[in-house]
Amino acid sequence: MQVLKALEQRKSIRAFLDKPVSEEQINTMLDAARYAPSGVNTQPWSVVVVSGESKKNLQSKIEAAFRSGDKGERDYQYYPTEWAEPYKSRRKACGLLMYSTLDIKREDKKRQMDQWAANYRAFDAPVMLLFFMDSGMQSGSFMDCGMFIQSVMLGALDLGLSTCPQAALADYQHIIKPELDVGHDKILLCGMAVGYEDTKALVNSYRTPREEVNSFTEYFR
């Protein structure tokens, strides 16, 4: 697949087929993604691959915590504490697009909770990836890891797989780290669902819009 086409086709998938993903496929993705750039070649990322019974056990603990009212706490601040435009409107439109596609009404709190809880099962994908970096690294390493994570998603697409990057999983680092024996000197950046898209699932039928190039680009000649 051409890179330009892959960049355009990639989208976040939230419903997957009950079809296994092999370790060979995961290793192929990661083997390609390791060539992502990083400052002075630090390669600050580390990956934990969770599937099978390990995934079932982990996701059940996370979902139970979520449903009990435990909101969790990330190792870092992902979103602003106060939203400003245009980001506030984009965030609202993103949520409305998904809920309107699924016909989940604003007053239907149960369906909203059930849909959000699917995050913590990695949308029932067969594989959950978790991305970490050492807590001693600084802001530049977040950029490095972002480029690595994007490379993983493009590699997955080339193999016929679909993904959904999930910052929501980082909320429950206090459950994930002990369960997977990951030290508290690691920052949990995000998770990622990996599997085969269920093309018949309504939740996969929409795409979030993107700004045109001229809205975020300036040329000085």
pLDDT digits (tens, 9 = 90+) for 58-102: 999 999 999 999 999 999 999 999 999 999 999 999 999 999 999
Per-residue pLDDT at 191 exceeds 90: yes
The secondary element (H helix, E strand) that includes residue 189 is: strand 186-195
C-alpha distances (whole Å) from 122 to each of 7, 42, 199 are 22, 29, 17
Mean pLDDT of the chain: 97
- pLDDT of res. 106: 87
Give residue-wise pLDDT tens across range 101-147. Answer: 999 998 999 999 999 999 999 999 999 999 999 999 999 999 999 99
Per-residue pLDDT at 18 exceeds 80: yes
Q: Where in 35-135 does DSSP place strands (E)?
A: 45-51, 127-134
CATH number for region 3-208:
3.40.109.10
Q: What's the average model confidence in pLDDT over 170-182? A: 98
- pLDDT of res. 100: 94
The secondary element (H helix, E strand) that includes residue 3 is: helix 3-9
Q: What's the average model confidence in pLDDT over 18-35? A: 98
- pLDDT of res. 1: 76
- pLDDT > 90 in the chain, percent: 99
Give me the phi and psi of 192, to 5 degrees please: -155, 130
Per-residue pLDDT at 157 exceeds 90: yes
